[in-house]
Structures are given as structure tokens and as C-alpha cells.
Structure 1
Amino acid sequence: MRRRLRRVALRLYERLLERELSGAPAHVAVIQDGNRRYAESKGRPRTDGHEAGAETTEAMLRWCRDLGVEELTLYAFSTENFDRPADEREALFDLIEEKLYAFADRDEIHDHEVRIRAIGEVERLPERVREAVAYAESRTRGYDSLHLNIALAYGGRAELLNVAREAARDVREGELAPAEITPEELDGRLTEQATRDVDLIIRTGGDERTSNFLPWHANGNEAAVFFCSPYWPEFRRVDFLRAIRTYESRQASWRRTRAERARALVGTLTDVDLPEARAVLGRFRESLPEDADGEYEPAD
């Protein structure tokens, strides 16, 4: 009876959260942490934790589709994971290979036009995994409704280092001038990776760090970050809704800060500058959420 009441309360809480949300971030990136610890807490082999985590991944894809998220990037295998024991590493490769083929052949992937891509140093992966990557990418290449990026053999510092080396090589060979190394130039060299800036990073498992994940696309965009204690296999839709609420609060706070800075700037201007400055401040105010009395709502 108590378990049933808990499920009912959870569903009601989900509905309440969903009603509070005004939209969804365009690009969500997830650090799927805690698979091994989940298995250990259940007294099961570590590989069982990865299997359970794969089920959450499938659910996450549905939640993103239902809520209007346009891009989802999953940190499936980092460059540091190559240091794991050989048997665990091979089990992970088996699971990744199996899921890539399964996803690429799944009806809902094609019905909802989900494009699958791998990002990272894919060439470092075993041939069987590379073949599964190629199969999934070729089967979904023409789709554009939801982008699913699987980060494999991925490390953010290595990604930026490779781009810096490419730019240095092009400068040395006369194909690029030093003054042409701009944020836009580097961004263009990263277009084979995530296609848009990251709006929200989620990390499960209790650790509060972003683990070198998408530093250019997330930090440059000042992405919101949501840390939560459930292990990845335990991550629920209600946790995802709470993460999106954190993103919305972060966006509202950011807009409010910009308006406050603009207001302070107006106070330093001369009478000649004031009409134009006030017009700019008015546009900032229009972008802020208002309550029934027309006052600015405080951030959560």
C-alpha cells in the first residue's frame, strides 16, 4: 500500500513540475555516472549495472522527444575508461555495439527521425564497435528531428588540443593567418562534434564535476549544470524535469543580471545618451518573467 501511494505521489509531482515548465533546453548533455556503484549496491556484477543504465538511456531518449529537446549527448565511454580492467572494458564494448545496432533498427528511431552520431576518437575503438557506429550513422543520416550524440572515446581536453594542433598546422602551411584563429574559426572546426551549444549538463551518481565533458560547447555557453544523487540506472523522469527547472531558473537569473547591469549603466550616462539607453533597458525588461503584479519573480 505504501509503495502504491508513493507511486501516485510521484506521478502527481511529475505533473506539477511539468506544468511549471515553460519549455525545454535545446541541447542536453548527460554524464551517466553510477552504473557500477548501482550494481555493487545490489550485490550484482558491474556489467549488470551497465545493462540497467542502457535501459535508462532508452527512456531518456523518449523523455527528450516528448518534451521537445532537439539534441541529446550521452557520455558513454571516456578516454579514461580505457584504463578500466580488460574484462569490464570488453563488456562495455559489447554493450555499446549491441545497443547501436538495436537503436539503428528500432522503429521509433525512424518514426521520429532521430539522427545518431558518435563523437570522440572513434578510431581508438575496436573494429566491431566502429562498424556498429558506421551502421547507426548511415541508417539515420537523413534525419533531423532529434540528434542523439554518443560520446565514445571522448575527452574534452583532447578534443580542444586536436583542434589547436590542426589550426597550428594550417598556420605553418600558410593556409590560415594567426589573426584568423577566432572563436568562430575554432567553432567551425568542431562542427563534426555536437552541432549546437549545450544548454544543460546533467550528472547522476552524486559527484559534482563535469569531467572534461564538452568544455567548448558547455562552458562557452555558460550551460546550467544539474547534479543529482541517483545512480544512472535509477534516474527517473521526475529527475529530468527537476533538471530542466534548474535550467529555466538559471536562464531567468541570467536575464535578470543583464537587466540589472543595464540599469546600472544607464545611471552613468549623460542626458544625450539616455533615450537610447532607456530603450535598450526596456527591451531587457520585456524579456524577464513577470508575476500578476508586474514585478520580477525571484529565482528559485
Structure 2
Amino acid sequence: MLRWVRRQLETAYERQLRRSVSGAPAHVAVIQDGNRRYASKQGGEASDGHREGAKTTERVLDWCDEIGVEELTLYTFSTENFERPDHEREALFDLLENKLYEFADAERVHDSGVCIRAIGDVQQLPPRVREAIDYAERQTGDYDNFVLNIALAYGGRNELLGAARDVAREVESGNLDPADISVETIESRLYARPLRDVDLIIRTGGDERTSNFLPWHANGNEAAVFFCTPYWPEFSKIDFLRAVRTYESRAQSFRQAKVQRALALVRAVGGVELDEARSVLHKFAEYVPDSATVEEIEGGDERQTTK
């Protein structure tokens, strides 16, 4: 009886959360932490936790599709993971190989136009995993409705270091002028196909750190971050919707801060300078809360500055 009541309450809460979500982050990045701890809690092997985590990944793909997320990046295997025991590492490679082939052939992937690609130093991976990556990327490379990035043999510092070395070599060879180095210069050397800036990072398992994940695309974009305690196999739709709500709250706060800075500028000037200040405020029109128009804010502010 108590279990039934709990399920009903969770269902009602999930519906409430879904109604409260008005938009979606374009790019969500997930640190899938806690697979091994989940398995230990269940009395199983680490491989059991990874298999259960793979099921969560499939559910998250459905949730992203439901609310309109356009890109999902999964931190699946870090460079530090190579230090795990051989038997655990090989079991994880088996799972990765099987899932890559399975996803590449899945009807849902092709029906939804999902592009699968790997990011990271994949040359460190065993040949069988690299072959599975090549297969998945070939099978889905022409799609662009949704992008699924799988971070394998990934390290954010190594990624930036590699791009910096490429740029340095081109400058040294005379093929690149230092004055021409731009954001696009770096981004073009990170991946063959560009990633969107990350809007939301989710980390499961209780740790509150981003573990060097996508530093260029997340930190540079001031991505919202959502930490939660459930292990990855336990991550639920309620947790996912709460993460999206965190992103929306962060985005709204960011918009309001821009509006307030613009209004402070208007309040700080008067007379002939007011027209110039108004033109600045109009540039922030997209950040004005829905409950007020730029003209209303200007009118109220003009009354304040001419008292």
C-alpha cells in the first residue's frame, strides 16, 4: 500500500515538474557517476552497475527528445578509468562495444535522426571499441536532428592542451598569424564537427564537482550545474526535470541581471543622454521579463529620473 501511494505521489510530482518546465537547454552534458557504488549496494559486480546505467542512458535519450534537447554529451569513460582493474575495464569495453553497435542499428535512432559520435582520445581504446565507434559514426553521420556525443578516453585538460599544441605548431610553421587566433581557431581544433556550448551539466552520485568535463564549452558558457545524490542507474525522470528547472532558473536570473544593469545605466543618466541610454536598453529587449515591455520600463524609469 505504501509503495503504491509513493508511486502515485511521484507521478503527480513528475506531472507538476513537467508543467513547470517551459523550455529546454539545447545541450545537456551528463557525468554518469555511481554505477559501481550502485552495484556494490545491490551486492553485484561493477559490470552489473554499468549495464543498469546503460538502461538509464536510453531513458534519458527519450526524456531529451520529449522536451526538445538538441544535443546530449555523456561522460562515459575518462582517461583516469584506464587505471581500473583489468577485468573491470575489459567488461566496460565489452559493454561499450555492444551498445555502440546496438545504438547504431536501432530503429529509434534512425527514425529520430540521431547522430552518434565519440569525443576524446579514442586512439587509446582497444581496436574492437574503435571499430564499433567507426561503425556507429558511419551509420548515423548524416543525421542532424539530435546529436549524441559519447566521451571516451576523455580528459578536458588533454583536449585543450592538444588544441593549444596544434595552434602553436601552425604559428611556428608560419601558417597562422598569432593576431588571427580567435575562439573559432581553438574550437576548430577541438573536434572535427563543432559542439554546441553546454547549457546544463548534470552529475549523479553525490559528488559536487565537474571533473574537468568540457571546460571550453561549459565553463566558457557559464553552464548551469545540477548535482544530485542518486547513482546513475537510479537517476529518474523527476531528477532530470529538476535539473532542467535549475537551468531555467539560472537562465532567468541571468536575464534579470542584464535587465537590471541596463536599467541602472538609464537611471544614472538624464537630459540629452537619456535617448542614448534608451537605445542601450532596447538592445537588452530580449532579456526584459515577459511581464513588462521595454517601453513600460522606460516610462517608469523616465518618471523616476525627472522627479
TM over 0.5: yes
- Structure-2 residue corresponding to 1:86: 86
The structural deviation recorded for 1:194 is: 5.2
Q: How does 1:73-112 map to 2 (within 5 A)?
A: 73-112=73-112
Q: Distance in 1 between matches of 2:28 and 2:286?
A: 27
- Structure-1 residue corresponding to 2:7: 7
The structural deviation recorded for 1:279 is: 3.6
Once superposed, what is the RMSD of the aligned Cα atoms? 1.9
CA contact (8 A) 1:194 1:217 kept: no
The structural deviation recorded for 1:261 is: 1.4
Opposite residue 277 of structure 2, the aligned amino acid is A
Identity among equivalent pairs (%): 63
- Structure-2 residue corresponding to 1:151: 151
Name the count of aligned residue pairs. 295
The structural deviation recorded for 1:184 is: 2.5
For the structure 1 residues 55 and 125, does the alpha-carbon distance in structure 2 shift closer, same or farther, using more than 3 Å as the test?
same
Q: Distance in 1 between matches of 2:184 and 2:24?
A: 26
Q: Which structure: larger Rg?
A: 2
The structural deviation recorded for 1:265 is: 2.3
CA contact (8 A) 2:119 2:191 kept: no
For the structure 1 residues 59 and 229, does the alpha-carbon distance in structure 2 shift closer, same or farther, using more than 3 Å as the test?
same
Q: Distance in 2 between matches of 1:242 and 1:291?
A: 24
Opposite residue 76 of structure 2, the aligned amino acid is A
Q: What SS does the aligned partner of 1:222 have?
A: coil
Q: What SS does the aligned partner of 1:267 have?
A: helix
Q: What SS does the aligned partner of 2:176 have?
A: coil
The structural deviation recorded for 1:281 is: 2.1
- Structure-1 residue corresponding to 2:61: 61
Opposite residue 256 of structure 1, the aligned amino acid is Q
- Structure-1 residue corresponding to 2:210: 210
Q: Distance in 2 between matches of 1:37 and 1:152?
A: 21
Deviations 1:281-300 (A, max 9, x none): 255365343459x999xxxx
Deviations 1:227-286 (A, max 9, x none): 000000000011100000000000000011111112222334453332132243255365
Opposite residue 24 of structure 1, the aligned amino acid is A
CA contact (8 A) 1:116 1:140 kept: yes
Opposite residue 7 of structure 1, the aligned amino acid is R
Q: How does 1:277-292 map to 2 (within 5 A)?
A: 277-282=277-282, 284=284, 287-290=287-290
Opposite residue 131 of structure 1, the aligned amino acid is E
CA contact (8 A) 2:259 2:287 kept: no
When normalised by structure 2's length, the TM-score is 0.92
Q: How does 1:150-299 map to 2 (within 5 A)?
A: 150-192=150-192, 195-269=195-269, 271-282=271-282, 284=284, 287-290=287-290
Q: Distance in 2 between matches of 1:193 and 1:76?
A: 19
Opposite residue 237 of structure 1, the aligned amino acid is K
Opposite residue 213 of structure 1, the aligned amino acid is F
Q: Distance in 2 between matches of 1:194 and 1:72?
A: 13
Q: Distance in 2 between matches of 1:36 and 1:160?
A: 29
Opposite residue 228 of structure 2, the aligned amino acid is C
Opposite residue 134 of structure 1, the aligned amino acid is D
Opposite residue 19 of structure 1, the aligned amino acid is R
Opposite residue 230 of structure 2, the aligned amino acid is P
Q: Distance in 2 between matches of 1:193 and 1:234?
A: 32
Q: Distance in 2 between matches of 1:122 and 1:276?
A: 53
Unaligned runs of 5+ in 1: none
Q: Distance in 2 between matches of 1:67 and 1:276?
A: 40
CA contact (8 A) 1:119 1:193 kept: no
Opposite residue 166 of structure 1, the aligned amino acid is D
Q: What SS does the aligned partner of 2:284 have?
A: helix
Opposite residue 238 of structure 1, the aligned amino acid is I
CA contact (8 A) 1:119 1:194 kept: no
For the structure 1 residues 148 and 156, does the alpha-carbon distance in structure 2 shift closer, same or farther, using more than 3 Å as the test?
same
Q: Distance in 2 between matches of 1:135 and 1:286?
A: 43
Q: Distance in 2 between matches of 1:277 and 1:13?
A: 45
CA contact (8 A) 2:114 2:147 kept: yes
Q: What SS does the aligned partner of 2:233 have?
A: helix
CA contact (8 A) 1:27 1:72 kept: yes
- Structure-1 residue corresponding to 2:34: 34
CA contact (8 A) 2:122 2:152 kept: yes
CA contact (8 A) 2:121 2:152 kept: yes
- Structure-2 residue corresponding to 1:43: 43
Q: Comparing both structures, which one devotes a greater share of its residues to helix?
A: 2
